[in-house]
Amino acid sequence: MKEVVLDTETTGLSVKDGHRIVEIGCIELDNLIPTKNKFHCFLNPGRKVSEKALEVHGYTDQFLSDKKKFIDIADDFLSFIKDKKLIIHNAEFDLGHLNNELKIAGKEKIDNENVIDTLYLAREKFPGSTISLDALCKRYRIDNSRREKHSALIDCELLTKVYINLVDQKEPTLNFISNNKNIIQKTLSKSNNYFKKVVQPTPEEIKTHKEFLKNNLKKNFF
């Protein structure tokens, strides 16, 4: 099953205040194994980045001024996530901004049913504990030293590792294991065939055995 780990950075917290997306990062998973397929872009939001958001991710208005607008990358983005579950930490925030951008671009919104929120997975697994991305990295001993500021792609890489741990599959199954199983199965099959082989006694052996029982059984047991 293919999934996409997704993260965004924005100009501020709420779409109600007119805030927009400035970065999208996506990493594709195939049966919990990261593939080489990634989607990443910086976006010109068409408005100023708030001071608080600037402290979080560090993307200045000048840096974003020559980047594409969301409408320019919308089709490529939708094509990348098509028919895949989205893995998002605190999905309400990212999904709210993504659906706002899609609405502005005249595209269909992303259905909530197509999203797995790792915030809820972590809350169920560790009730009462801090469940921020940094806290989960610390819990699972995931190196997040590169995360000096928020970055959609770096956060996706970290969230991928956290997600795999949350679903209790830290080490994805590798092909050589199934190959070994095939080898073992073939070996057992050969062994079973060996033990099923029946050796029939010769007439002379049967006669000797009867004489032995006649001469020794009563003497030894009665």
pLDDT score, position 73: 98
From 19, 57, 89, 150, active-site residue: 150
Class of the CATH domain delimited by 2-166: alpha beta
pLDDT score, position 188: 43
Give the length of the chain.
222
Q: Give the DSSP letter of residue 16.
A: G
pLDDT score, position 191: 41
**C-alpha distances in angstroms, 21 versus 25, 46, 134?**
11, 10, 22
Put simply, whether the predicted model's pTM sits higher than 0.85 gets the answer: no
**Under 8 Å between Cβ of 20 and 97:** yes
Strands (E), the chain: 2-10, 21-30, 33-42, 85-88, 115-117
Q: Is 168 left (phi over 0), alpha (psi -120 to 50) or beta?
A: left
Q: What does the domain layout of the chain look like in residue ranges?
A: 2-166, 176-221
Segments in the chain below pLDDT 70: 169-201, 205, 207, 209-222
Question: Would you call 209 a catalytic residue per the annotation?
Answer: no
Alpha helices, DSSP H only, in 2-89? 51-57, 61-64, 70-81
pLDDT score, position 10: 98
**Under 8 Å between Cβ of 47 and 11:** yes
**Under 8 Å between Cβ of 121 and 166:** yes
